[in-house]
Amino acid sequence: MPDVKFAHPRLAAVYDTFDSDRGDLDAYEDIVAELGAQRILDYGCGTGTLAARLAGSHQVTGFDPAAASLDIARTKSDAVTWAGDLAGLSGFDLVLMTGNVAQVFLTDDDWAGVLTTVLGLLRPGGFLVFETRRPEYRVWDEWAHRAPDTRDVPGVGPVRHDFQLTEVRLPTVSFRDTFTFGDGQVLTSDSTLRFRDRNELDAGLTAAGFRITDVRQAPDRPGRERVFLCEKP
């Protein structure tokens, strides 16, 4: 099930304001060009920022199980095929997983199942490209000291965001987002991410049938992330 911050209509509507710096997506546009991909699936597209950016010159499908997020995504582009499930999809040149998408699959079976699904969505020679946080960087130490953040959301007004690190039990880390609206409504969303090390990732991808062609740093977050390029033979 999607986290509340993606699935609740009121929280989906404020997501882009609190995640407004999307410089991380520039690298993915470069990878799309590098691979010469034309038919692209943005897996876990959220509110659709990347899919909409790519749609002008590519055939793009944005998939997300969170209906509220897809409702926001649909307002950004009529050129993207927006999908709440994967039924009938196949033959992609490239599947992208940006942000925390690859880390929301908490068990080994869940991750293996997703990799098998993605392999089936790709044409032979197609690529899965995803990012994942490096556990050795210990980003949760920074998260423990995040200050409240109040922003003016267009059409909504001021909204305060409080972040609380709730549990570190490696390989998983849990946290809570709390949003306080000007009318007094308070909405909370609990999330857990799985931090896999390089050996785990390599083994899982190989077992699923992928060939790892490159592992890079995220250029905007050096030392913090790994970006995997994985080919379907």
C-alpha closest to that of 193 among 93, 81, 107, 112? 107
Outline where DSSP puts E strands in the chain. 39-43, 59-63, 81-83, 92-97, 122-133, 149-153, 157-169, 172-181, 186-194, 211-216, 225-231
C-alpha closest to that of 122 among 91, 149, 150? 91
pLDDT value of residue 172: 98
The whole-angstrom separation of Cα 203 and Cα 230 is 12
Dump pLDDT digits (tens) for 71-83.
999 999 999 999 9
The whole-angstrom separation of Cα 219 and Cα 227 is 10
19 pLDDT exceeds 90?
no
CATH 3.40.190.10 for domain 4-134+196-231, yes or no, is: no
Task: Answer yes or no: are the C-beta atoms of 37 and 58 closer than 8 Å.
Answer: yes
Tokens read off for 153: 């959301």
Tokens read off for 132: 């994942």
Q: What does 91-138 look like in DSSP terms, one character per residue?
A: -EEEEEE-TTGGGS--SHHHHHHHHHHHHHHEEEEEEEEEEEE-GGG-
pLDDT value of residue 101: 97
Q: What is the 3-state secondary structure (H, E, C) of 58-72?
A: CEEEEECCCHHHHHH
pLDDT band, residue 220 (cuts 50/70/90): confident
Please state the φ and ψ torsions of residue 185, each to the nearest 5 degrees.
-70, 135
Mean model confidence pLDDT for the chain: 96
**pTM of this structure:** 0.95
Q: What percent of the chain has pLDDT over 90?
A: 92
Dump pLDDT digits (tens) for 120-141.
999 999 999 999 999 999 999 9
pLDDT value of residue 129: 98
pLDDT band, residue 15 (cuts 50/70/90): very high
85 pLDDT exceeds 90?
yes
> Dihedral angle at the C-alpha atoms of 12, 16, 22, 25, nearest 10 degrees?
40
How far is the CA of 115 from the CAs of 119, 148, 231, in angstroms? Answer: 6, 36, 12
Mean pLDDT of 1-22: 91
Edge-first strand listing for the sheet containing 225-231: 81-83, 59-63, 39-43, 92-97, 122-133, 225-231, 211-216
Task: Answer yes or no: are the C-beta atoms of 43 and 96 closer than 8 Å.
Answer: yes
Please state the φ and ψ torsions of residue 3, each to the nearest 5 degrees.
-65, 155
C-alpha closest to that of 26 among 74, 95, 98, 106? 98
